Amino acid sequence: MEKQYLVDDLSTTESWRIFRIMAELIEGFEVLGKIPPAVAIFGSARSHPEDSDYQKAERTAAKLARQGYAVLTGGGPGIMEAANKGASEAGGVSVGLNINLPFEQKPNDYIGTYLDFRYFFVRKVMFVKYSVAFVIFPGGFGTLDEFFESIELIQTRKIKPFPVVLVGRKYWSGLTSWMEKTLLAQGKISSRDINLFGTTDDPEEVVRFIKENQPPI
């Protein structure tokens, strides 16, 4: 009998988790549905203000904000902070979608519109649903996850194609070379798939690439 009670308690806990997920989805839809078309900027939480990547992310976000785009980040430090700072100081809409983590992830000081998430997958839904482009600066596992998920969704036609830009040719060269010399060469992807994203070092080119390849809103 005692084991049955434990099973019932677990079932109740799991069921209530659905409502927490629903609450995050509803809040995200209500808040982000009111912002202008957004460009999501990803990159390492470990970049510092003196790093060239940080400074380039700040300039890129400022240029996007002046073009009328909202800038959407993960809300934390590093590249996320740089992007929110650039957008905020340029007078644009600066949005942070923070995730609860035991380290690194604390909201930065340059967020205008802020949302806090418990679940990674809910936050990912928000990035994809409310972004018209992804800009990927050098980063780690989380950055790679956002990059590959975006091009996978485009490749499989689960979402409408939108611009995906890798910033930092030298940093990404090993990855893009492997994709061409291994994935493409062995037929794991097609020649069309290798063109699902662009690569650049120039903030001006990022903006131009997005404007030229942005789908109709």
In this predicted model, what pLDDT tens digit does every residue of 114-145 receive, in sequence order?
999 999 999 999 999 999 999 999 999 999 99
Q: For position 102, what pLDDT does the model report?
A: 66
Q: How confident is the model at residue 9 (pLDDT cuts 50, 70, 90)?
A: low
Q: For position 135, what pLDDT does the model report?
A: 98
Q: For position 1, what pLDDT does the model report?
A: 41
Q: What is the set of domains in the chain, with CATH numbers?
A: 2-211 (3.40.50.450)
From CA 76, how far away is CA 31, in angstroms rounded? 19
Contact status, residue 115 vs residue 27, Cβ threshold 8 Å: yes
DSSP state of 103: S
Q: For position 13, what pLDDT does the model report?
A: 76
Q: pTM (2 decimals)?
A: 0.90
**Residue bearing tokens 């809103």:** 217
The interaxial angle of helices 203-213 and 52-66, nearest 10 deg, is 40
Helices (H), the chain: 2-32, 52-66, 79-89, 120-130, 141-155, 169-178, 203-213
